[in-house]
Amino acid sequence: MIRTATLSPQAIFSSLADNSRLRLLAGSANFPLAHEVARYLGMDLSPMVRKRFADGELYIQIQESIRGCDVYLLQPTCHPVNDHLMELLIMIDACRRASARQITAVIPYYGYARADRKTAGRESISAKLVANLLTQAGASRILAMDLHSAQIQGYFDIPMDHVYGSPVIIDYLARKQLSDIVVVSPDVGGVARARAFAKKLNDAPLAIIDKRRQAHNVAEVMNVIGDVAGKTAVLVDDMIDTAGTITEGARILRKNGAHQVYACATHAVFSPPATERLSTGVFEEVIVTNTIPVPEDKRFDQLTVLSIANTLGEAIWRIHEDSSVSSMFR
């Protein structure tokens, strides 16, 4: 769970409002989250002009001096991924040319993270390419949440802080006081994530779904390793994209006797036909965070969206104050 400092960020920043070198800028990918983070820090977003030329090229101009400042740029690289990534790169370049002292790219959702290794010949490792682009653009530091694989941290030659959305989800589940919980990993690759989640959820037992992927965004569920009969199954993953994997997982959990099935993920990518699959009634509840904005047309009755603004705000404050970020989760 997140530890709080002796003095709240709000109290500190209200007393240092005029002298603080911290600046928070928001890309267009998730304005609501950026405003929540700014509110947690007790400050306003720095003004910025953003427009497109007739040919689609993006123009960005920062509307106040950031010379010598520590600038934090909040921008998840979610759909449309290429547009939001390019916008972030231009924001970084603008801050570098405006003589910012330090530029931290705050990336709640890191796009291209699934292309983190070569699985066949002649493939690109796009997660590493994006890391190179961010570094070459002028980023001094990266703050990211729930990367698809931990190895991506090693792709950066600049400092990186990795924070987690699971404490927010675990707190929410704890308040629901569910009984006979079993935490389920939707595949073997997510076992470490599910195990850590289960440990924090009162050392709940763990189950694993064995599946084989036959193509991108297509999964065939084979069987369940572990006892789920009569239990409340909590499926845990870092993201929900087309929802094929997690929905098939829920169905096989039901077939194996699970009493209820909950889906938990930090990143609500929700590519079609995710909404249709998730709203079929196979889940008691689908719990995600707001690292990616979820528009009204992608919402459904079983969906719960939790805010991770306080987590990001606390991490930003600790980085700015040269305090430990990892201790937030101990």
The string of pLDDT tens digits covering residues 258-307 is: 999 999 999 999 999 999 999 999 999 999 999 999 999 999 999 999 99
Is residue 211 part of the annotated active site? The answer reads yes
- Reply yes or no on whether the pLDDT at 213 is more than 70: no
**What CATH number is associated with residue 44?**
3.40.50.2020
Residue linked to tokens 């870092």: 238
Same domain, 31 and 144: yes
Q: What is the mean pLDDT of residues 40-67?
A: 97
Which segments are annotated as binding site for D-ribose 5-phosphate? Answer: 213, 237, 241-245
Burial letters 28-39, b for 16+ CB under 10 A, else e: ebbeebbbbbbe
Which segments are annotated as binding site? Answer: 55-57, 148, 187, 213, 237, 241-245
Same domain, 278 and 314: no
Is 4 within a domain? no
How far CA 297 is from CA of 245, 272, 305, in Å, comes to 22, 11, 14
Which segments are annotated as binding site for Mg(2+)? Answer: 148, 187
Is 178 within a domain? yes
Residue linked to tokens 């096989």: 252
Task: Report the domain count for the chain.
Answer: 2
- Reply yes or no on whether the pLDDT at 95 is more than 60: yes
pLDDT for res 18: 39
How far CA 246 is from CA of 71, 118, 149, 261, 290, in Å, comes to 38, 24, 18, 10, 19
pLDDT for res 330: 80
Put residue 298 in one of left, alpha, beta given phi > 0 → left and psi -120 to 50 → alpha: alpha
- Reply yes or no on whether the pLDDT at 217 is more than 90: no
Q: In angstroms, rounded to a whole number, what is the distance separating the alpha carbons of residues 135 and 222?
A: 41
- Spot the catalytic one: 128, 200, 211, 231: 211
Same domain, 160 and 13: yes
Is 1 within a domain? no
Give the lowest-confidence range in 18-22, 151-155, 203-207, 271-275: 18-22
Quote the domain boundaries for residue 288: 166-306
- Stated as kind and residue range, the H or E segment containing 103 is strand 102-107
Residues 6+ apart with CB under 8 A from 248: 211, 219, 220, 221
Same domain, 23 and 135: yes
Reported as a single tens digit per residue, the pLDDT across 1-10 is 444 444 555 5
Is 206 within a domain? yes
Give the lowest-confidence range in 42-46, 131-135, 209-213, 305-309: 209-213
- Reply yes or no on whether the pLDDT at 215 is more than 90: no
